Amino acid sequence: MCYLFENFKGWKDYCLDKNISLEESVIEYECEEKGANKEEILAGLLKAYSVMKDAVKTGLEKDMKSNSGMIDNGAKKVFNHPLTVLSPEFQKLISRALAAKEVNSCMGRVVAAPTAGASGILPGTMVTLQEIHSLSDEQIVKGLLVGAGIALIIEQRASLAGAVGGCQAETGSAAAMASGAIVYCLGGSIDQVFTAVAVTIQCMLGLVCDPVAGLVEVPCVVRNASAASIAFSSAQIALANVNAVIPVDECVEAMGEIGASMESKYKETAMGGLAATLTGQEISKRVLIQDIEILPDEELPE
């Protein structure tokens, strides 16, 4: 019987008891759940990573303008801007996270890791990590496996869906997956991986889901970029053995508690936050009119 990903403490104990790595325990779980073998699981993840890399490339090369007009090639603008605010690597990280998410907003192919709304975070962080540290795709896949284990626990104890737990559950969980994956890929210990997750959750707690016009565009796209940077800052903190103080399982509990007490207007209903601003409402009306105009006559409501 494999480990069922109920909490982080149990995951660590299981790996130590069986003397296996975090990544191996996820493979074990996946094999049992899917009735597949290790090679098939790894091949599937390599394919998923190649879709992530393609999304980054597409977002940086192709025209990325959404039907609503709210998304208009932001990733390319960031990538090509002559003024670098921090470092070229940081500029690339931000533009890559934006790029993959813009592909999603423009109806392109992405990996929902863990959701489509957060689909720029793992591509942005992993492609940048790979480039900076000259890692192979196989090494990145090991990080993705650990990220999957992290998501399985958050799903059990809190949520991965904006409609259930707010944006902390979507972009927050993706950032936690990415942060744990970064630490794991760089040789961090189990405790360091879990500290990265704890610190990331602490940074993302309370974030509401308030998509303008109900479209997964604003603020979703820019939140993928900020979540990608938080993943790296948390990984840096964790690798230095800074104490997260609140253990990772309790951070996840807090995320669940905050999500449960969040009003429904902050859970993907587009009735609160940025969606409810004057401009947000004007955009919502415009998008609705646009949608009605493109409906063929026979599909118009009576």
Residue nearest to ligand SF4 (CB): 162
Write out the H or E segment, with its range, that includes residue 31: helix 22-34
Q: What gap in Å lies between CA 15 and CA 33, rounded to an integer? A: 18
Cis peptide before 301 (omega within 30 of 0): no
Cβ-based neighbour number of residue 183 at 10 Å: 28
Cβ atoms of 32 and 2 within 8 Å: the answer is yes
Residue 200 CB, nearest approach to ligand SF4 (Å)? 15
Phi, psi dihedrals of residue 186, rounded to the nearest 5°: -95, 15
- Which CB atom, from 118 or from 127, has the smaller least distance to ligand SF4? 118
- Which CB atom, from 177 or from 239, has the smaller least distance to ligand SF4? 177
- Which CB atom, from 30 or from 210, has the smaller least distance to ligand SF4? 210
Provide the residue type at 213 as one letter: A
Q: What gap in Å lies between CA 300 and CA 302, rounded to an integer? A: 6
Residue 109 CB, nearest approach to ligand SF4 (Å)? 18
- Which CB atom, from 147 or from 162, has the smaller least distance to ligand SF4? 162
Residue 298 CB, nearest approach to ligand SF4 (Å)? 31
Residue 224 CB, nearest approach to ligand SF4 (Å)? 7
- Which CB atom, from 26 or from 220, has the smaller least distance to ligand SF4? 220
Q: What gap in Å lies between CA 152 and CA 32, rounded to an integer? A: 15
Residue 101 CB, nearest approach to ligand SF4 (Å)? 8
Q: In the complex, which residues of this chain contact ligand SF4 (CB under 6 A)?
A: 117-118, 162, 167, 170-171, 209-211, 216, 219-220, 223, 268
